[in-house]
Structure 1
Amino acid sequence: MMKLTTVLVLALVACTLGAERPVARVGFNQGRIVGGTDAQKGQFPYQVSLQYVLIFITQHSCGGSIYTPNWIITAAHCVTEVPAIGHYVAVAGEHNLNSNDGTEQRIRVSKSIVHPDYTGGVGPNDIALMKLQSPLTFNAAVAPISLPAPNAIPTGEAILSGWGSTSQSNSPSMPNILQTATLPLLDYNDCANAVGSDGPLAPTNVCTGPLTGGYSACSGDSGGPLAQRDANGNSVLIGIVSWGFIPCGSVSAPSVYVRVSAFIDFINSNVD
């Protein structure tokens, strides 16, 4: 039976605290985002790795998107479902988590703003902003992503990127190389039918398929970007990885994202 879950991973943190490990999404194909490939270095300059620091352990936990030199957009559950005693570091210009690419900028997160209507866990309004202690320096490897027009409904295909789990079991196994996949956006009604009447899908979500399976976001992709290119070739943030089903990539199991166009006022009213 498939289960609903957010796609946050804090395996090492949970083990350190002696806590129960969060349920992980599984189902990756040949060590990549389901149906995806290794990203090229510098392909997604707006992507950040949000790494949680607890005592002497630092671990990639979520993705995020650069909006301004001082602000990152991510999922609310990346803020609410981590231990209060640690802190986040945003790593921009990252490609291989296990090596120094020479393009990284590592800056501590100074504060987080969770959407006031987010109630925790799997559900709507799963969006948060993170302010950095000092500004990023923009260059070819580190650059912002644009926001969509307010309330725009995206269609067609979209590009997912992240360091989500490559495991085919219930234990997450995180890739070192940034992964990417081009996925079809689902009609909202088709997504709602797949999720079922008891699912927490809301009109402020957007979904990717295909419903035939084999392609999916997975554990560790939480908070990361779902993007499209506009007419000028600029990357536009249309979605934030929020929740989905386990196993990953199952038939009739969409990946669900925050639809960013529904939260333009929230973003711009809090970014200084």
Structure 2
Amino acid sequence: MKSLLKALKRCAVAGAAALAVVSLQPVSSAQAAPAPVVGGTRAAQGEFPFMVRLSMGCGGALYTQQIVLTAAHCVGRTGANTSITATAGVVDLQSSSRIQVRSTYVYRAPGYNGDGKDWALIKLAQPINLPTLKIATTTQYNTGTFTVAGWGAASEGGSQQRYLLKATVPFVSDATCRSYSGYGGLIANEEICAGYTAGGVDTCQGDSGGPMFRRDSANQWIQVGIVSWGIGCARPNAPGVYTEVSTFASAIASAAAGL
């Protein structure tokens, strides 16, 4: 059932845009989502230099300058793959200064079957000389305020965005997330929820694979999640679900080292 629900939200579509941030406390029913709503506000050039747009309609982040971390459901099987184009270095996908590099290989999380383990790596034909986004290796940062950015749909069923958008959403505990209709299958320790009880701010179609990140103790960006699934976009009592990066940090590092 959950796999069907995923198709309602994050799965790669020709879109790209909504975003998120997490507060230090679980979301209460009294909380109202702040402006802006789904679609967020436009990111400034260079604000999130690690952001990558993938040609199949997903997002991603530079794990290294030659490897993109994205969602498993965005790619096919592990193996050689030269069909994906990664666009980076710009907030405007039509900018003449955009950097575009083809893929050479895809590594999909072992055992991925549509539920959990939603991560993958894409090796590029050449490095992109831009800052990378480090990933969380412990659960220390799996709370608080998260930022999400992407070129996905700015409304449920909407179309791809030309410009990179950003937004913020609050952390939702596993227990609270599971209490919502359709979220009973949430996989603890593999998935993390974020969103407002009232809805209004969320990731959406085309944001799949993009990073959910926050500041660490040194005030540097650190990735804690990967846009995975959810029911609709920005609906009340329907938070976004993200792959819990820290759970897979060792596996990601090992896989990357072998690419």
Please report how far the alpha carbon of residue 152 of structure 1 lies from its aligned counterpart in structure 2 after TM superposition.
3.9
Report the equivalent of 1:253: 238
Q: Say if 2:82 and 2:105, in contact at 8 Å, map to a contact too.
A: no
1:185 and 2:171 are equivalent in the alignment: yes
2: distance between equivalents of 1:94 and 1:192?
A: 37
Q: Say if 1:62 and 1:224, in contact at 8 Å, map to a contact too.
A: yes
Q: Alpha carbons of 1:73 and 1:85: their partners in 2 closer, same or farther (altered >3 Å)?
A: closer
Q: Deviations for 1:139-164, whole angstroms, at most 9, x for unmatched residues?
A: xxx21011112344511110010011
2: distance between equivalents of 1:92 and 1:25?
A: 15
1:128 and 2:113 are equivalent in the alignment: no
RMSD: 2.7
2: distance between equivalents of 1:161 and 1:33?
A: 13
Please report how far the alpha carbon of residue 78 of structure 1 lies from its aligned counterpart in structure 2 after TM superposition.
0.5
Q: Say if 1:5 and 1:25, in contact at 8 Å, map to a contact too.
A: no
1:265 and 2:250 are equivalent in the alignment: yes
Please report how far the alpha carbon of residue 233 of structure 1 lies from its aligned counterpart in structure 2 after TM superposition.
1.7
Q: Say if 1:33 and 1:165, in contact at 8 Å, map to a contact too.
A: no
Report the equivalent of 2:85: 89
**Which is worse superposed, 144-153 or 68-77?**
144-153
Name stretches of at least 5 consecutive residues in structure 1 with no aligned partner: 13-23, 27-31, 53-60
1:62 and 2:58 are equivalent in the alignment: yes
Name stretches of at least 5 consecutive residues in structure 2 with no aligned partner: 19-35
Matches within 5 A, 1:1-272: 4-6=5-7, 7-11=10-14, 34=38, 36-52=40-56, 61-80=57-76, 87-100=83-96, 102=97, 104-120=98-114, 123-137=115-129, 142-152=130-140, 154-168=142-156, 170=157, 172-196=158-182, 198-246=184-232, 248-272=233-257
Alignment length (residue pairs)? 234
Please report how far the alpha carbon of residue 11 of structure 1 lies from its aligned counterpart in structure 2 after TM superposition.
4.9
Stretches (4+) displaced over 4 A: 195-198
Q: Which has the higher contact order (CA 8 A, sep 6+)?
A: 2
2: distance between equivalents of 1:197 and 1:98?
A: 37
Q: Say if 1:167 and 1:174, in contact at 8 Å, map to a contact too.
A: no
Q: Say if 1:217 and 1:255, in contact at 8 Å, map to a contact too.
A: yes
Q: Say if 1:195 and 1:201, in contact at 8 Å, map to a contact too.
A: no
Please report how far the alpha carbon of residue 235 of structure 1 lies from its aligned counterpart in structure 2 after TM superposition.
0.6
Please report how far the alpha carbon of residue 90 of structure 1 lies from its aligned counterpart in structure 2 after TM superposition.
1.1
Q: Say if 1:48 and 1:66, in contact at 8 Å, map to a contact too.
A: yes
Q: Say if 1:159 and 1:180, in contact at 8 Å, map to a contact too.
A: yes
Q: Say if 2:38 and 2:155, in contact at 8 Å, map to a contact too.
A: no
Partner-residue secondary structure (3-state), 1:67: strand
Please report how far the alpha carbon of residue 187 of structure 1 lies from its aligned counterpart in structure 2 after TM superposition.
1.3
Please report how far the alpha carbon of residue 202 of structure 1 lies from its aligned counterpart in structure 2 after TM superposition.
3.5
Q: Alpha carbons of 1:93 and 1:211: their partners in 2 closer, same or farther (altered >3 Å)?
A: same
Q: Say if 2:71 and 2:119, in contact at 8 Å, map to a contact too.
A: yes
